[in-house]
Amino acid sequence: MARLFILLVISLVLTCISTSWTLSQTKPTLILLETLAQKESHSQFFKILVDEGFQLVYKVADDSTLTLVKYGEFLYDNVVLFAPNVEEFGGNVSPVGIVEFIDAGGNLIVAASSSITDAIRELGSDCGVEFDEDGTSVIDHLHYDASDSGKHTTIVVEPEQLIAAPLIVATRSPILYNGVAMTADSSNSLLLPVVKGSPTSYSYNPTSKIEEYPMALGTETLLVAALQARNNARVTFSGSLDMFSDAFFETSVSRSGLEPVPSGNRQFSRDIARWTFKEVGLLRVSAVSHNRIGETSPPTAYTIGEEVRFSITIEEFISGSWTPFLASDVQMEFVRIDPFVRAFLEPTANGTLEVVFVLPDVYGVFQFRVDYNRLGYTRLQSRTQVSVRPLQHTQYERFIPSAFPYYASAASMMLGLFLFALVFLSHQDSAKSKKD
């Protein structure tokens, strides 16, 4: 009876663990808004998220009960921050807290606008993105939409301004944009310019006279920037909140001298949301194995000159399941400070990538390294440390052909000494007997 009870307890605990685990797999997405009215004005974007299977939680950004963490765990996987005018976040949320959320692996979409507060600017600069000042807009006197009020701030983004990464942005239709400019910290190699300004764009306050050099000018102006952090958390900054709005989704783009076409904002927002919230471009290493040819398990240490098979299973997350990723451009490096071997991995029938190579004639502690960095994909790094030892004393050649003269000389020497000893001893004997 007692045993049954224990079993029951164990199974209960296990169920709890497994349910909590599955729950942790599908944490909700937090939508932070300035006013709940935005829920309506951007309803189509939120509908896209719901259609993609995200569970949305709407909160006002200065809600006093707002919190991202509970019991040391983050409550959300993804955050959408549509509150460019928030002076101070409510509850215990702060830009620092959001940065911690990113460092813990959380994904984030931030949309700003021409009126922007220091809280958002601080968040941006923590990720290497610099927003222009409050009140400024991206202005383009050549590429503006017909619906523009005359300030030339509702601008049209041509497809060639988009990053050439189908995983992040697949759409190739013109996009409407109305908002603040950004620049990238040039030392930050992790930032991706998703949408760049056209060569004729610049950033300034549209109502005032231009007296200073604009902060952003031409193609260095960033309209949308993305950051894939080293822990693969994805953060997207957009200077325009309007580009996600229902109004921009539904309107058509009419440039001067061209036929009006439907705006690509809906498609663009969907692409960005899917990428940022890790629906696409997600890779993982599920298994790494290495062994000598003809064996199945790895040895404690390899010996120089051995033939080694290295295989790695990389999987991609495609529509809800992990499927083998069989690219032909994945490389393996065999590194001891410097790479000694660098080879392409070949896809095999059973879904792994594999290479067979001969270990270099150098001993030491090596690493099998697979570093796969492709635009839009997760940053993939695999390190497997192995020792490569020199030959054991039994593994050297016993007899070397080129040394045969020496063997002969040693043998003849021994023979000669033996014969000499015989002769010498017998000779002495005879001499003695002669003397006698």
Partner 1 sequence: MAASFLSYLPASQMSHEKKSTLLTLMILTIAAILSFLIRLFSVLRFESVIHEFDPYFNYRTTRFLVDNGYYDFHNWFDDRAWYPLGRIIGGTIYPGLMITSTILYNLLHSLNITIDIRNVCVFLAPLFSSLTSIVTYHLTKELWSTGAGLVAASLIAIVPGYISRSVAGSYDNEGIAIFCMLLTYTLWIKAVKRGSVAWATACAVAYFYMVSSWGGYVFLINLIPMHVFALIVTGRFNVKVYVSYCTVYCLGTVMSMQIPFVGFQPIQSSEHMAAFGVFGLCQIVGFYQYAASKLSKEELNLLSRFVISATVVVSLVVAMALQLSGKIAPWTGRFYSLLDPSYAKNNIPIIASVSEHQPTAWSSFYFDLQLLVFMFPVGLYHCFANLTTENIFIILYGVTSIYFAGVMVRLMLVLAPVMCILASIGLNKTMTSFMKNLESTNKETPQPKKRADNSYSVKNEVAMAVVAMITLFLTTYVFHCTWVTSEAYSSPSIVLAARGGSDGSRMIFDDFREAYYWMRQNTEEDAKIMSWWDYGYQITAMANRTILVDNNTWNNTHISRVGQAMSSTEDKAYEIMQELDVDYVLVIFGGMVGYSSDDINKFLWMVRIGGSTDRGTHIHEKDYYTPSGEFRVDREGSPTLLNCLMYKLCYYKFGNVYTDANKPMGYDRVRNVEIGNKDFELDVLEEAYTTQHWLVRIYKVKPMSNRGI
Q: Are 165 and 376 in contact (CB under 8 A)?
A: yes
Integer Cα distance of 180 and 116 in angstroms: 8
**Contact with partner 1 (CB under 8 A) among 366, 368, 372, 377:** 366
Judged by CB under 8 A, the residue of 92, 385, 409, 412 near partner 1 is 385
To which residue do tokens 């921050």 refer? 81
Which residue stretch of 65-73, 175-183, 346-354, 388-396 sits at the interface with partner 1 (rule: CB under 8 A)?
A: 388-396
In the set 95, 124, 128, 376, which binds partner 1 (CB under 8 A)? 128
Among 187, 207, 297, 350, binds partner 1 (CB under 8 A): 187
Token duo for residue 68:
């991202």
Round to whole Å and give the CA distance between 46 and 298. Answer: 50
Q: Round to the nearest angstrom and report the end-to-end CA distance of the chain.
A: 111
Query: Looking at 227, 272, 308, 380, which residue binds partner 1 (CB under 8 A)?
Result: 227
Query: Is the CB of 126 or the CB of 315 nearer to partner 1?
Result: 126
Q: Are 29 and 80 in contact (CB under 8 A)?
A: yes
DSSP letter (8 states) at residue 299: -
- Do residues 140 and 197 touch, judged by C-beta distance below 8 A? yes
* Residue from 3, 70, 209, 393 in contact with partner 1 (CB under 8 A): 393
- Position 345, amino acid: L
Q: Least distance from C-beta 366 to partner 1, angstroms? A: 7
Q: Residue 185 Cβ, how far from partner 1 at the closest point, in Å?
A: 6
- Alpha carbon distances (Å) from 256 to 146, 155, 197: 7, 12, 19
Site string for partner 1, 80-99 (x = CB under 8 A): -------------------x
Q: Which two tokens stand for residue 161?
A: 């301004």
- Segment interacting with partner 1, rule: CB under 8 A, options 70-78, 81-89, 362-370, 420-428: 362-370
- Residue 189 interacts with partner 1 (CB under 8 A)? yes
Determine, following the binding rule CB under 8 A, whether residue 66 of this chain makes contact with partner 1: no
| 398 forms part of the interface with partner 1 (CB under 8 A) | no
- Do 343 and 365 touch, CB atoms closer than 8 A? no
Q: List the one residue from 26, 387, 409, 428 that touches partner 1 (CB under 8 A).
A: 387
Burial class (CB in 10 A: 0-12, 13-18, 19+), 126: middle
Q: Is 278 in the site for partner 1 (CB under 8 A)?
A: no
Cβ nearer to partner 1, comparing 255 with 336:
336
Total chain residues near partner 1 (CB under 8 A):
30
Which part of the chain contacts partner 1 (CB under 8 A), choosing from 25-33, 62-70, 123-131, 238-246?
A: 123-131
Residues in region 137-156 near partner 1 by CB under 8 A: none
Tokens of 352: 């792994």
Q: Is residue 202 close enough to count as binding partner 1 by CB under 8 A?
A: no
Chain centre distance of CA 349:
26
357 makes contact with partner 1 (CB under 8 A): no
Kindly state the DSSP code that residue 19 receives in the 8-state scheme. Answer: H
Sole residue written with tokens 């200073």: 212
Residues 299-338 binding partner 1 (CB under 8 A) are: 301, 336-337
The whole-angstrom separation of Cα 210 and Cα 64 is 40
Distance CA 402, CA 75 (A): 74
Binding residues for partner 1, per CB under 8 A?
99, 102-103, 126-128, 185, 187-191, 227, 229-231, 233, 301, 336-337, 363-366, 385, 387, 389-390, 392-393
